[in-house]
Structure 1
Amino acid sequence: MAKTQRHPLSELAQYLPDNTLAEVLAYLQKYKVQLTITQARRSILGDYRNAHGHHAHRISVNGNLNKYSFLITLLHELAHLVTYEYHRHRVAPHGREWKNNYAAILKDFLARQVFPEDIARELNRSLHNLGASSCSEPGLMRVLKNYDDDTYGLHLVEDVQPGQWFVTRDNKVFIMEKKMRTRYLCTAYPTGKQYLFNALYEVKILDSHPEFP
């Protein structure tokens, strides 16, 4: 389980793009949100849990995200909160009501011109049919990756060439075989088992065979 850390709201600025703190704080304070910043989680970027009993609304966001990804993820979860306030559990998690609320929140931040042009363009393009996460919107994910810290030298699977070796975050080694229709066929080493990878899966490319450099 990812370690969590609650941050004083005044420290949020280090995770957010310039000129967005006041607006974000307004949402968090209005709905009395308990915000938690976590270590990287493989399966999700953020999470929302509704208020119940003595518990406040709770939102968690991965702390390793770049500032624009962090903000978009936080707004995504705030849209879940707003949808819950109006509809409780009577609507689908990513249904029309959530999409309308998320679009309204995004439009507010887009109007403030807090996103670089490439991210703003992809967000505007997706407003008519917002995905359940940025990972389900390939164009948006690609431009957001341009703002990641490249300390770990990660690449997208779609950047790996046939015959190149790569290693996943859980230290499994593969060789790229070929592109299929929408996914990439890769062979695991040393088992020889074959797997299909999403084009946007992040990996580290190896310079040579893992045992024979």
Structure 2
Amino acid sequence: MQNRLQDYIPESAVAQVLALLEHDHLVLKIKQERKTRHGDYKPLHNGMHQITINSNLNKYRFLITLIHEVAHFEAFNTYGRFIKPHGAEWKRTFQRLMLPFLNPDIFPTTLLPLLANHFKNPKASSDTDMKLALALKQFDQPNNKTYIFDVPYGSSFKLYNGKVFKRGNKRVKRYECVEVKTGRLYLFNPNAEVELLN
């Protein structure tokens, strides 16, 4: 596992992460990209626990996602299965587990203030923290995608699933976009990546 982890997270975090994963009943699987999630955790029927993480994440997002899922496992073991998935018990566990990683040996100094702010009250997904999400994306592999906030008003764009939308007005935080085929209105996070159409 150590050799595989070194390919996905900052090298200086490997020993700490391996210590967190040292459970007889915990299995980590690295998966192909899933568009709807970066990772997940689930208790299995055989008494085992499984964490899956997408293989395409940059090393900083991979580490955050892995600790997020380990926090689910730890919260489940400590508080039982009837807690809210991203409730107070999980938040406290995530904060406690993440704190030792928030240092310049592991994360770039440009990310540390954003991470410190995010972990005052961690959300179900770091993607909902726009400043942090955009800062993390600068470490992704380059692609031909555009952020929703960069799509001009009235312009068309396409999602990974082929659906075409037209960008509308900005609400408080999200953008109204109309699916061209159905006329249905959807709300998009500003940092959603899409393919701009001519």
1:185 equivalent in structure 2: 176
1:16 to 6, 9, 12: 9
- For the pair 1:41 / 2:31, whether they are aligned, the reply is no
Residues 47-126 of structure 1 aligned to structure 2 (within 5 Å): 47-50=40-43, 52-53=45-46, 55-111=47-103, 113-126=105-118
Quick one: distance in 2 between partners of 1:162 and 1:47? Answer: 35
The yes-or-no answer on 1:28 pairing with 2:4 is no
* Higher CA-based Rg: 1
Judge conservation of contact 1:59–1:77 (CA < 8 Å) in 2. yes
Alpha-carbon distance in 1 for matches of 2:38, 2:57: 8
Q: Distance in 2 between matches of 1:112 and 1:85?
A: 31
Provide, for residues 41-79 of structure 1, a one-character-per-residue CA deviation record: whole Å limited to 9, x for no partner: 1222111112553x4221001111111111100000011
Q: Is residue 164 from structure 1 mapped to residue 155 from structure 2 by the alignment?
A: yes
Distance 2:172 2:7 in 1: 40
Return closer, same or farther for 1:10/1:56 CA change in 2, 3 Å cut-off.
farther
CA contact (8 A) 1:31 1:57 kept: no
Residues 1:149 and 2:141 are matched in the alignment: yes
Report the count of equivalent residues: 198
Q: Matched residue of 1:132: which SS?
A: coil
Whole-angstrom CA distance in 2 between matches of 1:185 and 1:68: 30
- TM-score normalised over the length of structure 2: 0.89
Give the distance between the partners of 1:99 and 1:193, measured in 2 at CA: 35
* In structure 2, C-alpha distance between the alignment counterparts of 1:169 and 1:99, rounded to whole Å: 31
CA distance in 2 between counterparts of 1:201 and 1:49 reads 26
Gaps of 5+ in 1: 1-7, 209-213
2: CA distance between counterparts of 1:119 and 1:204?
27
Q: Structure 2: where are the runs of 5+ without partners? A: none
Partners of 1:21 and 1:182 lie apart in 2 by 36
Change (3 A) 1:196 1:94: closer
Q: Percent identity?
A: 36
Report the 3-state secondary structure (helix = DSSP H, G, I; strand = E; otherwise coil) of the residue aligned with 2:7: helix
Deviation string, structure 1 residues 64-107 (Cα, Å, up to 9, x no partner) = 11111111000000111111121111422212221111111111
**C-alpha separation in 2, matches of 1:191 and 1:127:** 39
Q: What is the CA distance between 1:193 and its match in structure 2?
A: 4.7
Asked whether the 8 Å contact 2:104–2:112 carries over to 1, the reply is no
Of 130, 154, 162, the residue aligned with 2:122 is 130
Q: Deviations over 1:136-156 (max 9, x none)?
A: 2222111111111113x1222
